[in-house]
Amino acid sequence: MREGALTEARHVPVMLQRCLDLLAPALEAPGAVVVDCTLGLGGHSEALLARFPGARLVALDRDTAALELSRTRLAPYGDRATLVHAVYDELPAVLAGLGIASVQGVLFDLGVSSMQLDEADRGFAYAQDAPLDMRMDQTKGIGAAEVLNTYPPGELVRILRAYGEEKQAKRIVSAVVREREKEPFDRSARLVEVIRDALPQAAKRTGGNPAKRTFQALRIEVNGELEVLGRAIPAAVGALAVGGRIAVLSYHSLEDRLVKQVLAAGAASTAPPGLPVVPERYQPRLRLLTRGAELPTDEEIAQNRRAAPARLRGAERLRPEVDA
C-alpha cells in the first residue's frame, strides 16, 4: 500500500459530515477562505476542498511530518491549498503574511492526531513502549522525559492535577521522584509501570488505563496546549468575517470548557443592566450554532473509537468589531 493510501486508511476524520454542514453556509460563495488550524493528516482539509470547490484553504500544523504527508494528499487541489508550519495561536500572523484580512470559516480538531498516536516513536500512546517525547513539533522545545526528570515535585503534582485531573497526583509523583533518582526516565513503558505500581487497587479498577491521565497531563505541558488554545480561539473569532463560522472539536473537558467560555462570552451582550436601547457595541458578536456540545453518534463511535470523547461546538460571527 502506498504511503498516501496508508495515511488515508488509518485516519478517519471525526464528526466530518457535521463539521462540513456547520461551516457550509459560510463557505458556499466563491472566494471563501477556510482555515484548518489543525491539519494533521488532512482528512478534514481534503473534505473541505472537495465539498466547497470555490473555496481556498489555509492549513496550519506544528508537526512537520504531518505537513509533508498532507502536502502529498492535497497536491491535486493545487494552489487552492496553502499549508503552513505554525502553531494555531499564530493564526493572525499567518493570515497577515498571506495578505488575508478575514476568513469565512475556521476549523479546529484539537488533541493528538492519528499519526502521532500511531507512530510508536513519538511517545504519545501509553499502550506501547516508546521514547518519552510527546512533542507535536519535534524541531523545538523539551520532551516529556525532561519534564519528568527535571521538574520539582510540586510542579509535577500541579501539572497532573490541572491538566490530567489526576486525583492520585501526589502518590504518582512521589513514585516518579524516587525512581528518577535511581535512573532518569526515557521510555514510556517504565513510566506506565511506575504509575501502575503507585496506585491503590481501587484506582486501577476504574477509568481505563491508569496511566491515561498522566500521559494527557504531560502532553499538554510539553506542548503548552491550553495556553496556546486560550490565545487561538479568540484570535480565530477575531479573524472571522461577518457571517463567518467557527467549528471546534475538543477531546477532553479542559479544552471543551475553554472553548465554551470563549464562544459563550462572544454570544452574550456586554451592555450594562437597565439600558432602554442596547448600542451596537454591546450587542453579541457571535451566535451559537450548537446547543451545548454536540456528540458523535453511536454509529460513528462504533466505526471509529477515537471519536468517542469528541465534543463539537460552533458559532457564527454576527457583527464586526465596534470601537467603544
186 marked among binding-site residues: no
Q: Are 3 and 33 in contact (CB under 8 A)?
A: no
Q: Would you say 109 is a known binding-site residue?
A: yes
- Rounded Cα distance between 135 and 147, Å, is 12
C-alpha to C-alpha distance for 44 and 60, rounded to whole angstroms: 12
Say if CB 137 and CB 148 are below 8 A apart. Answer: no
CA of 82: how far to CAs of 61, 105, 233, 320, in Å? 11, 15, 21, 26
Q: Is 42 labeled as ligand-binding?
A: yes
Buried b (16+ CB within 10 A) or exposed e, 136-165: bbeeeeebbbbbbbebeeeebbbbbbebbe
Cα separation of 32 and 316, whole Å? Answer: 15
Query: How far apart (Å, rounded) are the C-alpha atoms in residues 199 and 176?
Result: 12
The residue whose grid cell reads 491521565 is 213
What's the CA gap between 31 and 51, in Å, rounded? 14
The answer to whether the annotation marks 61 as part of a ligand binding site is: yes
Which helix (DSSP H) or strand (DSSP E) does residue 312 occupy?
A: strand 311-317
**Dihedral over alpha carbons 274, 279, 285, 287 (to 10 degrees):** 60
Q: What are phi and psi of 288, to 5 degrees?
A: -70, 135
- Residues 214-248, buried b or exposed e (16+ Cβ, 10 A)? bbbbbbbbbbebeebbbbbbebbbebbbeebbbbb
- Residue 172 Cα to chain centre, angstroms: 26
Q: Check: CB of residue 134 under 8 Å from CB of residue 143.
A: yes
Binding site for S-adenosyl-L-methionine: residue ranges? Answer: 42-44, 61, 88, 109, 116
Detail the residues annotated as belonging to a binding site. 42-44, 61, 88, 109, 116
